[in-house]
Structure 1
Amino acid sequence: MLLKSIKDIYHKELDGIYPREEVSAFFSLLTEHYLGLERFTLVMKPDLLISKEEEAPLFMALSKLKEEFPVQYITGKAHFMDLELTVNEYTLVPRPETGELVQWILEDSHKAEAALRILDIGTGSGCIAIALSHRLQSASVTAVDISAVALEIAQQNARAHGCNINFEQLNILEEQPEGQPWDVIVSNPPYVRESEQEGMPVNVKKYEPHHALFVPDEDPLKFYRKITELAAAHLKEGGRLYFEINEALGDAMTELLRTHEFSEIQLRKDIFGKDRFIKGIKK
Protein backbone atom coordinates (compact mmCIF):
# COMPACT_ATOMS: atom_id res chain seq x y z
CA MET A 1 0.00 0.00 0.00
CA LEU A 2 1.18 3.54 -0.72
CA LEU A 3 2.28 5.70 2.20
CA LYS A 4 -0.26 8.38 1.29
CA SER A 5 -3.04 5.78 1.19
CA ILE A 6 -2.30 4.69 4.74
CA LYS A 7 -2.30 8.32 5.83
CA ASP A 8 -5.69 8.81 4.16
CA ILE A 9 -7.04 5.84 6.13
CA TYR A 10 -5.75 7.39 9.36
CA HIS A 11 -7.63 10.59 8.63
CA LYS A 12 -10.79 8.74 7.60
CA GLU A 13 -10.81 6.69 10.81
CA LEU A 14 -9.56 9.28 13.29
CA ASP A 15 -10.60 12.77 12.19
CA GLY A 16 -13.91 12.35 13.99
CA ILE A 17 -12.11 11.61 17.25
CA TYR A 18 -9.09 13.96 17.19
CA PRO A 19 -8.30 17.29 15.50
CA ARG A 20 -7.00 16.72 11.98
CA GLU A 21 -3.62 18.25 12.83
CA GLU A 22 -3.22 15.82 15.71
CA VAL A 23 -3.97 12.86 13.43
CA SER A 24 -1.26 14.04 11.06
CA ALA A 25 1.13 14.31 14.01
CA PHE A 26 0.23 10.78 15.12
CA PHE A 27 0.94 9.44 11.64
CA SER A 28 4.29 11.23 11.42
CA LEU A 29 5.30 9.96 14.84
CA LEU A 30 4.28 6.37 14.14
CA THR A 31 5.87 6.13 10.69
CA GLU A 32 9.09 7.42 12.20
CA HIS A 33 8.81 5.00 15.13
CA TYR A 34 7.94 1.86 13.15
CA LEU A 35 9.49 2.54 9.73
CA GLY A 36 12.29 4.97 10.53
CA LEU A 37 10.86 7.50 8.06
CA GLU A 38 11.69 11.12 8.71
CA ARG A 39 8.83 13.57 8.50
CA PHE A 40 9.90 15.13 5.21
CA THR A 41 9.42 11.71 3.58
CA LEU A 42 5.65 12.08 3.99
CA VAL A 43 5.83 15.21 1.84
CA MET A 44 8.59 14.26 -0.58
CA LYS A 45 7.65 10.60 -1.15
CA PRO A 46 3.89 10.16 -0.68
CA ASP A 47 3.87 7.33 -3.25
CA LEU A 48 6.41 5.28 -1.30
CA LEU A 49 5.31 1.65 -1.30
CA ILE A 50 4.89 0.14 2.16
CA SER A 51 4.97 -3.65 2.42
CA LYS A 52 2.35 -5.71 4.24
CA GLU A 53 4.87 -6.49 6.95
CA GLU A 54 5.77 -2.82 7.37
CA GLU A 55 2.19 -1.57 7.45
CA ALA A 56 0.98 -4.11 10.04
CA PRO A 57 2.15 -2.16 13.14
CA LEU A 58 0.70 1.05 11.69
CA PHE A 59 -2.74 -0.53 11.47
CA MET A 60 -2.37 -2.06 14.93
CA ALA A 61 -1.58 1.41 16.26
CA LEU A 62 -4.57 2.79 14.35
CA SER A 63 -6.91 0.38 16.11
CA LYS A 64 -5.55 1.50 19.49
CA LEU A 65 -5.90 5.18 18.60
CA LYS A 66 -9.54 4.56 17.69
CA GLU A 67 -9.98 3.47 21.33
CA GLU A 68 -8.20 6.69 22.41
CA PHE A 69 -5.24 4.75 23.77
CA PRO A 70 -2.39 7.23 24.43
CA VAL A 71 0.05 7.36 21.55
CA GLN A 72 2.89 7.51 24.09
CA TYR A 73 1.88 4.08 25.38
CA ILE A 74 1.76 2.76 21.81
CA THR A 75 5.35 3.81 21.11
CA GLY A 76 6.48 3.38 24.71
CA LYS A 77 8.12 6.80 24.51
CA ALA A 78 7.31 10.31 25.70
CA HIS A 79 9.23 13.56 25.41
CA PHE A 80 9.74 15.72 28.48
CA MET A 81 11.70 18.93 28.13
CA ASP A 82 14.66 17.73 26.03
CA LEU A 83 14.52 14.14 27.28
CA GLU A 84 13.05 11.05 25.65
CA LEU A 85 11.61 8.78 28.34
CA THR A 86 10.20 5.27 28.36
CA VAL A 87 6.60 5.14 29.62
CA ASN A 88 3.88 2.53 29.99
CA GLU A 89 0.45 2.11 31.59
CA TYR A 90 2.03 2.12 35.06
CA THR A 91 3.41 5.65 34.64
CA LEU A 92 1.70 8.93 33.87
CA VAL A 93 2.53 10.53 30.54
CA PRO A 94 4.75 13.53 31.45
CA ARG A 95 3.04 16.87 30.77
CA PRO A 96 4.58 20.13 29.55
CA GLU A 97 3.25 21.85 32.67
CA THR A 98 5.43 19.61 34.83
CA GLY A 99 8.39 20.83 32.81
CA GLU A 100 7.49 24.33 33.99
CA LEU A 101 7.77 23.12 37.58
CA VAL A 102 11.23 21.70 36.89
CA GLN A 103 12.25 24.97 35.25
CA TRP A 104 11.17 26.90 38.34
CA ILE A 105 13.36 24.69 40.53
CA LEU A 106 16.29 25.13 38.15
CA GLU A 107 15.88 28.92 38.17
CA ASP A 108 16.00 28.91 41.97
CA SER A 109 18.95 26.50 42.10
CA HIS A 110 21.46 27.95 39.66
CA LYS A 111 23.19 29.99 42.38
CA ALA A 112 23.44 27.14 44.87
CA GLU A 113 26.96 27.01 46.25
CA ALA A 114 26.82 23.48 47.67
CA ALA A 115 25.59 20.25 46.11
CA LEU A 116 21.84 20.07 46.65
CA ARG A 117 20.02 17.16 48.24
CA ILE A 118 16.76 16.74 46.32
CA LEU A 119 13.77 14.48 47.01
CA ASP A 120 11.14 13.75 44.34
CA ILE A 121 7.98 12.16 45.77
CA GLY A 122 5.78 10.12 43.41
CA THR A 123 8.38 9.97 40.66
CA GLY A 124 6.46 7.80 38.15
CA SER A 125 8.54 7.71 34.97
CA GLY A 126 11.25 9.63 36.81
CA CYS A 127 10.75 12.72 34.66
CA ILE A 128 11.24 15.34 37.40
CA ALA A 129 14.13 13.59 39.13
CA ILE A 130 15.95 12.85 35.88
CA ALA A 131 15.49 16.35 34.48
CA LEU A 132 16.88 17.84 37.69
CA SER A 133 19.75 15.37 37.93
CA HIS A 134 20.58 15.93 34.27
CA ARG A 135 20.96 19.68 34.76
CA LEU A 136 22.18 19.85 38.36
CA GLN A 137 24.92 17.30 38.01
CA SER A 138 26.40 17.89 41.46
CA ALA A 139 23.02 17.30 43.13
CA SER A 140 22.19 14.17 45.11
CA VAL A 141 18.71 13.09 43.98
CA THR A 142 16.39 10.58 45.64
CA ALA A 143 13.10 9.58 43.99
CA VAL A 144 10.33 7.52 45.58
CA ASP A 145 7.13 5.89 44.35
CA ILE A 146 4.61 3.36 45.62
CA SER A 147 4.70 1.37 42.35
CA ALA A 148 7.52 -1.13 41.84
CA VAL A 149 6.77 -1.27 38.11
CA ALA A 150 6.95 2.51 37.78
CA LEU A 151 10.28 2.49 39.60
CA GLU A 152 11.65 -0.07 37.13
CA ILE A 153 10.74 2.31 34.31
CA ALA A 154 12.23 5.28 36.17
CA GLN A 155 15.48 3.38 36.77
CA GLN A 156 15.63 2.45 33.09
CA ASN A 157 15.17 6.10 32.14
CA ALA A 158 17.82 7.23 34.60
CA ARG A 159 20.34 4.77 33.17
CA ALA A 160 19.52 5.88 29.63
CA HIS A 161 20.40 9.46 30.53
CA GLY A 162 23.41 8.67 32.70
CA CYS A 163 21.78 9.88 35.91
CA ASN A 164 22.79 8.45 39.28
CA ILE A 165 19.55 8.61 41.28
CA ASN A 166 18.62 6.77 44.46
CA PHE A 167 15.21 5.14 43.93
CA GLU A 168 13.08 3.86 46.81
CA GLN A 169 9.72 2.08 46.84
CA LEU A 170 7.48 3.33 49.63
CA ASN A 171 4.01 4.58 50.46
CA ILE A 172 4.51 8.22 51.38
CA LEU A 173 1.31 8.19 53.46
CA GLU A 174 2.83 5.57 55.76
CA GLU A 175 6.63 5.73 55.40
CA GLN A 176 9.44 8.27 55.19
CA PRO A 177 12.35 8.15 52.74
CA GLU A 178 15.90 7.94 53.97
CA GLY A 179 18.51 10.62 53.46
CA GLN A 180 17.13 13.74 55.13
CA PRO A 181 17.67 16.61 55.68
CA TRP A 182 16.83 17.87 52.20
CA ASP A 183 17.48 21.13 50.36
CA VAL A 184 14.60 20.62 47.94
CA ILE A 185 11.46 18.49 48.08
CA VAL A 186 9.26 18.35 44.99
CA SER A 187 6.10 16.41 44.25
CA ASN A 188 3.45 16.10 41.58
CA PRO A 189 1.10 13.89 43.62
CA PRO A 190 -2.42 12.71 42.73
CA TYR A 191 -4.66 15.78 42.76
CA VAL A 192 -7.65 15.22 40.45
CA ARG A 193 -10.83 14.90 42.49
CA GLU A 194 -13.01 11.89 41.68
CA SER A 195 -15.86 14.18 40.66
CA GLU A 196 -13.61 15.82 38.05
CA GLN A 197 -13.22 12.63 36.00
CA GLU A 198 -16.20 13.43 33.81
CA GLY A 199 -14.51 16.38 32.15
CA MET A 200 -11.20 14.61 31.51
CA PRO A 201 -10.01 13.27 28.14
CA VAL A 202 -10.74 9.57 27.61
CA ASN A 203 -7.09 8.77 26.92
CA VAL A 204 -6.20 10.00 30.42
CA LYS A 205 -9.05 8.78 32.62
CA LYS A 206 -9.39 5.39 30.93
CA TYR A 207 -5.78 4.37 30.45
CA GLU A 208 -3.40 6.27 32.75
CA PRO A 209 -2.85 4.86 36.27
CA HIS A 210 -5.69 5.97 38.54
CA HIS A 211 -3.62 5.71 41.71
CA ALA A 212 -1.37 8.44 40.29
CA LEU A 213 -4.25 10.70 39.26
CA PHE A 214 -7.22 10.67 41.59
CA VAL A 215 -8.00 11.63 45.18
CA PRO A 216 -11.28 11.49 47.11
CA ASP A 217 -13.52 14.54 46.87
CA GLU A 218 -13.74 14.63 50.65
CA ASP A 219 -9.95 14.83 51.13
CA PRO A 220 -8.21 16.21 48.03
CA LEU A 221 -5.19 17.39 50.05
CA LYS A 222 -4.36 13.99 51.58
CA PHE A 223 -1.00 13.67 49.79
CA TYR A 224 -0.13 17.36 50.05
CA ARG A 225 -0.79 17.37 53.78
CA LYS A 226 1.48 14.39 54.43
CA ILE A 227 4.26 15.66 52.20
CA THR A 228 4.07 19.14 53.71
CA GLU A 229 4.38 17.62 57.19
CA LEU A 230 7.41 15.64 56.03
CA ALA A 231 8.94 18.74 54.47
CA ALA A 232 8.37 20.82 57.60
CA ALA A 233 10.26 18.21 59.60
CA HIS A 234 13.02 17.24 57.18
CA LEU A 235 13.87 20.20 54.97
CA LYS A 236 16.94 22.16 55.97
CA GLU A 237 16.42 25.70 57.18
CA GLY A 238 15.85 27.71 54.01
CA GLY A 239 14.98 24.53 52.12
CA ARG A 240 12.39 24.71 49.36
CA LEU A 241 9.15 22.78 48.87
CA TYR A 242 7.53 22.66 45.42
CA PHE A 243 4.23 21.15 44.32
CA GLU A 244 2.23 20.78 41.14
CA ILE A 245 -1.38 21.35 42.21
CA ASN A 246 -5.02 21.20 41.20
CA GLU A 247 -5.92 24.60 39.74
CA ALA A 248 -8.96 24.80 42.05
CA LEU A 249 -6.93 24.32 45.23
CA GLY A 250 -4.53 27.25 45.15
CA ASP A 251 -6.03 28.99 48.19
CA ALA A 252 -6.23 25.76 50.17
CA MET A 253 -2.61 24.93 49.35
CA THR A 254 -1.44 28.39 50.32
CA GLU A 255 -3.16 28.00 53.67
CA LEU A 256 -1.69 24.51 54.14
CA LEU A 257 1.86 25.78 53.68
CA ARG A 258 1.19 28.79 55.87
CA THR A 259 -0.19 26.56 58.63
CA HIS A 260 3.07 24.60 58.59
CA GLU A 261 5.00 27.87 58.91
CA PHE A 262 6.48 28.00 55.42
CA SER A 263 7.49 31.48 54.30
CA GLU A 264 7.74 33.30 50.95
CA ILE A 265 4.85 31.22 49.62
CA GLN A 266 4.38 31.71 45.89
CA LEU A 267 1.53 30.48 43.69
CA ARG A 268 2.47 30.31 40.01
CA LYS A 269 0.31 29.86 36.90
CA ASP A 270 1.04 27.42 34.08
CA ILE A 271 1.20 28.24 30.36
CA PHE A 272 -2.60 28.03 30.24
CA GLY A 273 -3.05 30.68 32.94
CA LYS A 274 -4.15 28.24 35.64
CA ASP A 275 -2.86 28.10 39.22
CA ARG A 276 -0.64 25.02 38.85
CA PHE A 277 2.41 25.31 41.09
CA ILE A 278 3.23 26.41 44.61
CA LYS A 279 6.48 26.94 46.48
CA GLY A 280 7.33 27.58 50.11
CA ILE A 281 10.54 28.13 52.08
CA LYS A 282 11.16 26.45 55.41
CA LYS A 283 11.85 29.05 58.08
Structure 2
Amino acid sequence: MQNIIDYIVEELGDHYSPGEVKTYVSLILGKVCGISSLEILTRKINKLSNTQHLVVDDIVGRLKNDEPIQYILGTTEFYGLPFLVTPAVLIPRPETEELVEWIITDKQKPNPSILDVGTGSGCIAVTLAKKIAGARVSAWDISSRALDVAEENAANNKVFVRFSEHDLFSSFVEKEQFDVIVSNPPYVLESEKREMEPNVLCYEPARALFVPDSRPLLFYERLADIALALLFPQGGIYMEINRMKGSDVMALFSEKGFIDVCLRKDLSGNDRMVFARKEG
Protein backbone atom coordinates (compact mmCIF):
# COMPACT_ATOMS: atom_id res chain seq x y z
CA MET A 1 0.00 0.00 0.00
CA GLN A 2 1.25 3.48 -0.83
CA ASN A 3 2.94 5.22 2.11
CA ILE A 4 0.40 7.57 3.70
CA ILE A 5 2.80 10.53 3.69
CA ASP A 6 3.58 10.06 0.00
CA TYR A 7 -0.14 9.78 -0.69
CA ILE A 8 -0.95 13.10 1.02
CA VAL A 9 1.98 14.85 -0.66
CA GLU A 10 1.01 13.53 -4.08
CA GLU A 11 -2.66 14.44 -3.71
CA LEU A 12 -2.06 17.97 -2.42
CA GLY A 13 1.10 18.84 -4.35
CA ASP A 14 -0.74 20.52 -7.22
CA HIS A 15 -2.92 22.59 -4.89
CA TYR A 16 -0.57 23.90 -2.23
CA SER A 17 3.06 24.94 -1.76
CA PRO A 18 5.57 22.38 -0.41
CA GLY A 19 5.59 24.21 2.93
CA GLU A 20 1.82 24.09 3.20
CA VAL A 21 1.74 20.40 2.25
CA LYS A 22 4.32 19.63 4.94
CA THR A 23 2.16 21.41 7.50
CA TYR A 24 -0.95 19.55 6.35
CA VAL A 25 0.82 16.19 6.62
CA SER A 26 1.66 16.97 10.23
CA LEU A 27 -1.81 18.23 11.08
CA ILE A 28 -3.65 15.40 9.36
CA LEU A 29 -1.61 12.57 10.83
CA GLY A 30 -1.54 14.23 14.23
CA LYS A 31 -5.32 14.48 14.22
CA VAL A 32 -6.18 11.11 12.69
CA CYS A 33 -3.46 8.93 14.16
CA GLY A 34 -1.99 10.83 17.08
CA ILE A 35 1.40 10.73 15.35
CA SER A 36 4.08 13.16 16.52
CA SER A 37 6.14 15.40 14.25
CA LEU A 38 9.23 13.29 15.03
CA GLU A 39 7.47 10.09 13.98
CA ILE A 40 6.41 11.78 10.76
CA LEU A 41 9.95 13.04 10.15
CA THR A 42 11.43 9.57 10.64
CA ARG A 43 8.43 7.92 8.92
CA LYS A 44 7.88 5.64 11.90
CA ILE A 45 4.21 5.18 11.13
CA ASN A 46 2.25 2.04 11.82
CA LYS A 47 -0.19 0.78 9.23
CA LEU A 48 -3.39 2.79 9.25
CA SER A 49 -6.74 1.12 9.74
CA ASN A 50 -9.36 1.25 7.00
CA THR A 51 -11.30 3.79 9.07
CA GLN A 52 -8.24 6.00 9.44
CA HIS A 53 -7.59 5.81 5.70
CA LEU A 54 -11.16 6.90 5.02
CA VAL A 55 -10.78 9.87 7.37
CA VAL A 56 -7.51 10.88 5.68
CA ASP A 57 -9.17 10.57 2.26
CA ASP A 58 -12.01 12.81 3.41
CA ILE A 59 -9.66 15.49 4.76
CA VAL A 60 -7.50 15.44 1.63
CA GLY A 61 -10.56 15.73 -0.60
CA ARG A 62 -11.88 18.68 1.34
CA LEU A 63 -8.49 20.41 1.20
CA LYS A 64 -8.48 19.94 -2.58
CA ASN A 65 -11.79 21.82 -2.59
CA ASP A 66 -10.09 24.73 -0.77
CA GLU A 67 -11.84 24.16 2.55
CA PRO A 68 -9.70 25.61 5.37
CA ILE A 69 -7.86 22.99 7.41
CA GLN A 70 -9.04 24.70 10.61
CA TYR A 71 -12.68 24.05 9.75
CA ILE A 72 -11.92 20.50 8.67
CA LEU A 73 -10.14 19.67 11.94
CA GLY A 74 -12.40 21.92 14.00
CA THR A 75 -9.53 23.45 15.94
CA THR A 76 -6.77 26.01 15.73
CA GLU A 77 -4.29 27.76 17.99
CA PHE A 78 -4.35 31.43 18.93
CA TYR A 79 -1.79 33.10 21.17
CA GLY A 80 -0.67 29.64 22.28
CA LEU A 81 -4.17 28.61 23.36
CA PRO A 82 -6.48 26.00 21.79
CA PHE A 83 -9.67 27.19 20.09
CA LEU A 84 -12.56 25.44 18.46
CA VAL A 85 -13.60 26.90 15.11
CA THR A 86 -16.61 26.25 12.91
CA PRO A 87 -17.90 27.94 9.73
CA ALA A 88 -19.97 30.15 12.06
CA VAL A 89 -16.83 32.08 13.01
CA LEU A 90 -13.80 33.56 11.32
CA ILE A 91 -10.55 31.67 11.62
CA PRO A 92 -8.28 33.63 14.01
CA ARG A 93 -5.38 35.35 12.25
CA PRO A 94 -1.81 36.15 13.36
CA GLU A 95 -2.54 39.87 12.91
CA THR A 96 -5.21 39.61 15.57
CA GLU A 97 -2.67 37.99 17.90
CA GLU A 98 -0.65 41.18 17.46
CA LEU A 99 -3.68 43.26 18.49
CA VAL A 100 -4.07 41.12 21.61
CA GLU A 101 -0.36 41.42 22.35
CA TRP A 102 -0.63 45.20 22.20
CA ILE A 103 -3.38 45.20 24.81
CA ILE A 104 -1.59 42.73 27.09
CA THR A 105 1.70 44.60 26.99
CA ASP A 106 0.16 48.05 27.42
CA LYS A 107 0.11 49.11 31.03
CA GLN A 108 -3.43 48.41 32.18
CA LYS A 109 -4.98 49.43 35.48
CA PRO A 110 -5.42 46.54 37.97
CA ASN A 111 -8.38 44.25 37.26
CA PRO A 112 -9.42 46.03 34.05
CA SER A 113 -12.93 45.75 32.66
CA ILE A 114 -12.80 44.84 28.96
CA LEU A 115 -15.44 44.67 26.22
CA ASP A 116 -14.81 42.73 22.99
CA VAL A 117 -17.21 43.89 20.27
CA GLY A 118 -17.87 41.24 17.60
CA THR A 119 -16.19 38.39 19.45
CA GLY A 120 -16.68 35.57 16.90
CA SER A 121 -14.79 32.53 18.20
CA GLY A 122 -14.01 34.44 21.38
CA CYS A 123 -10.28 34.31 20.64
CA ILE A 124 -9.67 37.92 21.75
CA ALA A 125 -11.93 37.87 24.80
CA VAL A 126 -10.81 34.46 26.04
CA THR A 127 -7.13 35.25 25.57
CA LEU A 128 -7.39 38.55 27.43
CA ALA A 129 -9.29 36.85 30.25
CA LYS A 130 -6.56 34.21 30.40
CA LYS A 131 -3.54 36.48 30.15
CA ILE A 132 -4.49 39.64 32.09
CA ALA A 133 -4.71 38.96 35.80
CA GLY A 134 -8.02 39.99 37.30
CA ALA A 135 -9.51 41.08 33.99
CA ARG A 136 -13.32 41.19 33.86
CA VAL A 137 -14.22 40.49 30.25
CA SER A 138 -17.50 40.91 28.40
CA ALA A 139 -18.10 40.15 24.73
CA TRP A 140 -20.80 40.88 22.16
CA ASP A 141 -21.72 39.17 18.92
CA ILE A 142 -24.76 39.33 16.68
CA SER A 143 -24.57 35.59 15.92
CA SER A 144 -25.93 33.07 18.43
CA ARG A 145 -24.01 30.33 16.61
CA ALA A 146 -20.77 32.24 17.03
CA LEU A 147 -21.52 32.78 20.71
CA ASP A 148 -22.02 29.02 21.19
CA VAL A 149 -18.49 28.50 19.86
CA ALA A 150 -17.09 31.33 21.99
CA GLU A 151 -18.68 30.01 25.16
CA GLU A 152 -17.21 26.58 24.54
CA ASN A 153 -13.79 28.13 24.00
CA ALA A 154 -14.04 30.02 27.27
CA ALA A 155 -14.97 26.82 29.10
CA ASN A 156 -12.17 24.83 27.45
CA ASN A 157 -9.63 27.49 28.44
CA LYS A 158 -11.05 27.70 31.96
CA VAL A 159 -11.94 31.38 31.97
CA PHE A 160 -15.16 33.29 32.51
CA VAL A 161 -16.35 35.74 29.87
CA ARG A 162 -19.78 37.36 29.97
CA PHE A 163 -21.11 36.80 26.46
CA SER A 164 -24.13 38.66 25.08
CA GLU A 165 -26.02 38.36 21.80
CA HIS A 166 -26.07 41.93 20.63
CA ASP A 167 -26.21 43.91 17.40
CA LEU A 168 -23.79 46.79 17.85
CA PHE A 169 -26.06 49.00 15.72
CA SER A 170 -28.91 48.61 18.18
CA SER A 171 -29.23 50.48 21.47
CA PHE A 172 -26.72 49.67 24.19
CA VAL A 173 -27.63 46.95 26.66
CA GLU A 174 -24.56 47.60 28.81
CA LYS A 175 -24.95 49.77 31.90
CA GLU A 176 -21.41 49.38 33.18
CA GLN A 177 -18.42 51.18 31.75
CA PHE A 178 -15.14 49.71 30.59
CA ASP A 179 -11.45 50.46 30.81
CA VAL A 180 -10.76 48.82 27.46
CA ILE A 181 -12.83 48.15 24.34
CA VAL A 182 -11.41 45.98 21.59
CA SER A 183 -12.81 45.05 18.20
CA ASN A 184 -11.85 43.27 15.01
CA PRO A 185 -14.88 44.34 12.97
CA PRO A 186 -15.72 43.65 9.33
CA TYR A 187 -13.42 45.82 7.22
CA VAL A 188 -12.83 44.09 3.87
CA LEU A 189 -14.36 46.08 1.02
CA GLU A 190 -16.78 44.32 -1.30
CA SER A 191 -14.50 45.30 -4.20
CA GLU A 192 -11.62 43.40 -2.57
CA LYS A 193 -13.39 40.07 -3.00
CA ARG A 194 -11.72 39.50 -6.36
CA GLU A 195 -8.32 39.46 -4.65
CA MET A 196 -9.26 36.92 -1.99
CA GLU A 197 -8.37 33.24 -1.86
CA PRO A 198 -11.21 30.70 -2.37
CA ASN A 199 -10.62 29.16 1.07
CA VAL A 200 -11.65 32.50 2.63
CA LEU A 201 -14.26 33.66 0.12
CA CYS A 202 -16.15 30.38 -0.13
CA TYR A 203 -16.04 29.21 3.49
CA GLU A 204 -15.65 31.98 6.05
CA PRO A 205 -18.74 33.97 7.15
CA ALA A 206 -19.15 36.96 4.82
CA ARG A 207 -21.10 38.84 7.46
CA ALA A 208 -17.95 39.01 9.59
CA LEU A 209 -15.70 40.10 6.72
CA PHE A 210 -17.22 42.62 4.35
CA VAL A 211 -18.37 46.23 4.32
CA PRO A 212 -19.86 48.16 1.38
CA ASP A 213 -17.43 50.22 -0.66
CA SER A 214 -19.71 53.21 -0.14
CA ARG A 215 -19.25 53.08 3.67
CA PRO A 216 -15.84 51.56 4.41
CA LEU A 217 -15.77 53.00 7.96
CA LEU A 218 -19.31 51.90 8.83
CA PHE A 219 -18.28 49.82 11.85
CA TYR A 220 -15.66 52.30 13.07
CA GLU A 221 -18.22 55.09 13.11
CA ARG A 222 -20.37 52.97 15.39
CA LEU A 223 -17.41 51.82 17.49
CA ALA A 224 -16.54 55.46 18.14
CA ASP A 225 -20.05 56.08 19.47
CA ILE A 226 -19.91 52.92 21.60
CA ALA A 227 -16.52 53.93 23.01
CA LEU A 228 -17.72 57.44 23.85
CA ALA A 229 -20.72 55.98 25.69
CA LEU A 230 -19.14 53.01 27.44
CA LEU A 231 -15.49 53.81 28.13
CA PHE A 232 -14.43 55.30 31.42
CA PRO A 233 -12.64 58.64 31.06
CA GLN A 234 -9.09 57.87 29.92
CA GLY A 235 -10.23 54.40 28.76
CA GLY A 236 -8.93 53.14 25.44
CA ILE A 237 -10.21 51.38 22.34
CA TYR A 238 -8.03 49.03 20.26
CA MET A 239 -9.12 48.07 16.75
CA GLU A 240 -7.93 45.96 13.85
CA ILE A 241 -8.30 47.80 10.54
CA ASN A 242 -8.10 47.51 6.78
CA ARG A 243 -4.49 48.26 5.90
CA MET A 244 -5.62 50.91 3.38
CA LYS A 245 -7.75 52.82 5.89
CA GLY A 246 -5.37 53.65 8.73
CA SER A 247 -5.30 57.40 8.25
CA ASP A 248 -9.08 57.48 7.72
CA VAL A 249 -9.79 55.60 10.96
CA MET A 250 -7.38 57.84 12.86
CA ALA A 251 -9.03 60.96 11.45
CA LEU A 252 -12.48 59.66 12.38
CA PHE A 253 -11.54 59.12 16.02
CA SER A 254 -9.69 62.41 16.26
CA GLU A 255 -12.74 64.23 14.90
CA LYS A 256 -14.89 62.46 17.50
CA GLY A 257 -12.73 63.97 20.24
CA PHE A 258 -10.49 61.04 21.15
CA ILE A 259 -6.90 61.69 22.15
CA ASP A 260 -3.60 59.77 21.85
CA VAL A 261 -4.84 58.32 18.55
CA CYS A 262 -2.11 56.17 17.05
CA LEU A 263 -1.55 53.66 14.29
CA ARG A 264 0.51 50.47 14.50
CA LYS A 265 1.80 48.24 11.73
CA ASP A 266 1.68 44.44 11.78
CA LEU A 267 4.73 42.23 11.39
CA SER A 268 4.28 42.32 7.62
CA GLY A 269 4.65 46.10 7.63
CA ASN A 270 0.99 46.84 6.91
CA ASP A 271 -1.07 49.43 8.79
CA ARG A 272 -3.21 47.10 10.92
CA MET A 273 -4.20 48.51 14.34
CA VAL A 274 -5.47 51.80 15.74
CA PHE A 275 -5.70 52.90 19.36
CA ALA A 276 -7.66 55.88 20.67
CA ARG A 277 -8.24 57.19 24.18
CA LYS A 278 -11.37 58.82 25.56
CA GLU A 279 -10.73 62.21 27.11
CA GLY A 280 -11.33 62.60 30.79
Which of the numbers 265, 268, 272 marks the counterpart of 1:269?
A: 265
Tell me the distance in 2 between the aligned counterparts of 1:178 and 1:260.
Answer: 21
Amino acid at match of 2:74: G
Q: Deviations over 1:36-87 (max 9, x none)?
A: 1111111223563212122111110000000010000011001101101000
- Contact 1:121 1:143 survives alignment (8 Å): yes
Shift of 1:214: 0.5
* 1:12 equivalenced with 2:10 (yes/no): yes
- For the pair 1:184 / 2:180, whether they are aligned, the reply is yes
Q: Aligned to 2:172, what secondary structure does the other structure show?
A: coil
**Aligned match for 1:194, one of 187, 190, 195:** 190
Q: Which runs of 5+ in 2 are unaligned?
A: none
Q: Give TM-score, length-normalised by structure 2.
A: 0.97
Contact 1:168 1:177 survives alignment (8 Å): no
CA contact under 8 A between 2:264 and 2:272: conserved in structure 1? yes
SS at match of 1:218: coil
Amino acid at match of 1:151: L
Q: Secondary structure at the match of 1:248?
A: coil
**Residues 1:97 and 2:95 aligned together:** yes
Pick one of 60, 74, 79 that aligns with 2:72.
74
| Equivalent residue letter for 1:164 | F
Aligned ranges 1:32-43 → 2 under 5 Å: 32-43=30-41
Residue 130 of structure 2 aligns to which amino acid in structure 1? H
The sequence identity of aligned pairs, in percent, is 38
Partner residue in 1 for 2:50: 52
Which of 105, 119, 124 aligns to 1:123? It is 119
From 8, 18, 21, the equivalent of 2:19 is: 21
With the length of structure 1 as denominator, give the TM-score of the two structures: 0.96
Partners of 1:160 and 1:101 lie apart in 2 by 22
User: What value does the CA root-mean-square deviation take over the aligned residues?
Assistant: 1.2
Partners of 2:45 and 2:205 lie apart in 1 by 40
What secondary structure sits across from 2:19 in the alignment?
helix
State the alpha-carbon separation in 1 of the partners of residues 260 and 67 from structure 2. Answer: 42
Equivalent pair of 1:190/1:215 in contact (CA under 8 Å): yes
The equivalent residue for 1:253 is 249
CA distance in 1, matches of 2:260, 2:39: 52
Count of residue correspondences: 279
What amino acid maps onto 1:129 in structure 2? A
Q: Is the 8 A contact 1:144 1:177 kept in 2?
A: no
* Whole-Å separation in 1 of the counterparts to 2:124 and 2:63: 27
1:197, distance to aligned residue in structure 2 (A) = 0.7
Aligned letter for 1:115? N
Matched AA of 1:117: S
1:227 and 2:235 matched: no
* Bigger Cα displacement from structure 2, 175-184 vs 126-135: 175-184
* 2:217 aligned with 1:216: no
SS of structure 2 residue aligned to 1:79: strand
- Per-residue CA deviations over 1:199-254 (Å, capped at 9, x if unaligned) read 11111111000000011010111111101111012211110011000000011101
Mapped to 2, the partners of 1:164 and 1:95 lie a distance apart of 23
Amino acid at match of 2:218: K
